[in-house]
Structure 1
Amino acid sequence: MFSLAQYEAVIGEIERGTKTFEARLAEVIPAADSASSQWYVAEVLGELLQWIARETVELGTEILNFILDVFKGTTAPIFMFMDAYKWMDLKAAANGVSADITTQNLVIDNSDWSGKGREAYLGAAAAQSAAAGRIGSIAKTTSDNLMLCAGAGLAFYIVVAGVIAKLIAEVVAATTAISTAVFSAVGAMIFLESGAVNTMAIATAVGVLAAFLGTQVNALITLHGEAVDPISFPNGVWPNSNSAQYNDGTVKDGDADWSLKD
């Protein structure tokens, strides 16, 4: 289920998180330089801390760029949600037309209107009612698919937000370990050890999202096939949205759409 308010909150959290993560990465190498310059830190340990710091920043930058890459698609779920809303409006309008022009609603008791003209009109109206109902059904299914896609986008970015929060905590822990110098090498490795896991978490989420969206694309292709299928519509075409096809007002010249025959 997609919530626009929740989605905007998650996106805001990611935006703040990426900026915080970038700022924390900028603190790693200065912390290593400061620690390795202390008199009590052996040269070999200082070089190790600086190597860990450089590797941490390099890996962190790669992960950050990866996150910023997937972040480029954040507007898509919002547009999907908006389009789903519009398709539901279309569904309501089409179903309203379908209900209004049913034979039952068009037949008036004790009416003076009778004969072949009345029968032809009601026959045409029944077909148009069914066609309008078909449009309503297609609109609803399209809206449902768009909402599912928007919801999948929300779930994906929730995963991304969680990974960023974990990355920030780990790079802060690594920087703290580097700064202490004493017994810091093992603690400083925390980011390097978990970086691949965090990257894999996002990559897996990307794969799941791509597979889901692929399924939805197939569903929308099927919907397109139903929309252009002439079987569901009168005379094999979508119902006309205006009365242009009935502009011949004569009734007895033998060539009008509404021509009467004796």
Structure 2
Amino acid sequence: MAFNAAQYTATIDKLNSGLTTMSTKLNQVGPKAESTANKWYVPGFVAKALIWCAKKIIEIGSWILKKIGELLKGAAVPVLAFKDAWTWQSTVRGQATDVAGNVAADALQAPKQWKGDGATAYTSAVKLQPTAAAQIATSADKVATALTLCAVAGLAFYVALGVIVVKFLAALTAALVGLGSVVFSWAGAAIIVEEAGVNTALVITAVTTLVAALGTQAQQMTAVEGEAKDNKAFPGGKWPVATA
């Protein structure tokens, strides 16, 4: 899956809309169950099943609503990661490759006109700069790749949450119909609650998958940090200056 800003925005909008609808439907569960349970012709065991089912659905639904709401607080991150990836690739890497090419031994113009001990010393001192610039370009490419993968993982994550919301809304709609019907049983209540519970497991799975993906990219960033401290490319941890 590639990152598509328009698709991502639409996904987040649908998620927010879905959570609003979910909240509205959850608020209907309790009253719907109580209304049916209080009918004079509803047997006691059915009324008990209705109230039990309603409480479970509200409990599970509230957890899903709260958890996805918390996860949506990070909705801006994938977009920012994608924009930063573009900057690292087009600006940092692009300029670093320009420097690497311009200070390469064959590309230096000054020594072609400048002769003597000074020119020799300068040529010797500047020879490390192409390596340093190339290292910056390589590291920038890795950072850009890691950020892009984070953005893609974020998109996949929120798409997965969107699917979960749609599934739960379907279960919630069915539950409201069931809670308003006198044709109800403990078995029916258990099926509705089980379907709702499946969605909590899906949320946890989606979070686990995202954490694993981000963990891989964190390892990549650690490797980049190590490259930035490489004394071969950056003697003493600094950019090699062109002075003897």
Tell me the SS of whatever aligns to 1:2: coil
Aligned to 2:239: 239
Q: Which whole-Å CA distance do the structure 2 matches of 1:146 and 1:50 have between them? A: 48
8 Å Cα contact 2:92/2:137 also seen in 1: yes
Higher relative contact order (CA 8 A, sep 6+): 2
- Listed one character per residue, the Cα deviations across residues 188-237 of structure 1 (whole Å, up to 9, x for unaligned) are 5443011221111111121122122222212211110110111113x434
8 Å Cα contact 1:177/1:185 also seen in 2: no
- CA gap of 1:186–1:119, structure 2 versus 1, over 3 A, is same
2:216 is the alignment partner of 1:218: no
Q: Which whole-Å CA distance do the structure 2 matches of 1:199 and 1:230 have between them? A: 50
Structure 1: gaps (5+ residues): 247-256
The residue type paired with residue 238 of structure 1 is K
Tell me the SS of whatever aligns to 1:14: helix
Aligned to 2:116: 115
Tell me the SS of whatever aligns to 1:129: helix
2:95 is the alignment partner of 1:106: no
8 Å Cα contact 1:28/1:57 also seen in 2: yes
Aligned to 1:167: 168
Normalised by the size of structure 2, how large is the TM-score?
0.88
- CA gap of 1:191–1:70, structure 2 versus 1, over 3 A, is farther
- 1:74 Cα shift? 1.9
2:156 is the alignment partner of 1:155: yes
- CA gap of 1:9–1:205, structure 2 versus 1, over 3 A, is same
- Listed one character per residue, the Cα deviations across residues 225-260 of structure 1 (whole Å, up to 9, x for unaligned) are 110111113x434326xxxx78xxxxxxxxxx56xx
Q: Which whole-Å CA distance do the structure 2 matches of 1:108 and 1:222 have between them? A: 36
8 Å Cα contact 2:29/2:54 also seen in 1: yes
The residue type paired with residue 42 of structure 1 is P
8 Å Cα contact 1:77/1:150 also seen in 2: yes
Structure 2: gaps (5+ residues): none
The residue type paired with residue 93 of structure 1 is Q
Picking from 89, 92, 108, the partner of 1:90 is 92
- Listed one character per residue, the Cα deviations across residues 111-151 of structure 1 (whole Å, up to 9, x for unaligned) are 54222222222333332122111111111111111111121
8 Å Cα contact 1:52/1:188 also seen in 2: yes
Q: Report the RMSD for the aligned CA atoms in angstroms.
A: 2.3
Aligned length: 242
The residue type paired with residue 35 of structure 1 is T
- Listed one character per residue, the Cα deviations across residues 97-122 of structure 1 (whole Å, up to 9, x for unaligned) are 1112222222479x542222222223
Q: Which whole-Å CA distance do the structure 2 matches of 1:190 and 1:40 have between them? A: 24
The residue type paired with residue 31 of structure 2 is P
2:29 is the alignment partner of 1:14: no
Aligned to 2:200: 199
The residue type paired with residue 193 of structure 1 is E
Q: Which whole-Å CA distance do the structure 1 matches of 2:185 and 2:36 have between them? A: 10
Aligned to 1:69: 70
Q: Percent identical across equivalent pairs?
A: 35
- CA gap of 1:75–1:191, structure 2 versus 1, over 3 A, is farther
Normalised by the size of structure 1, how large is the TM-score?
0.83
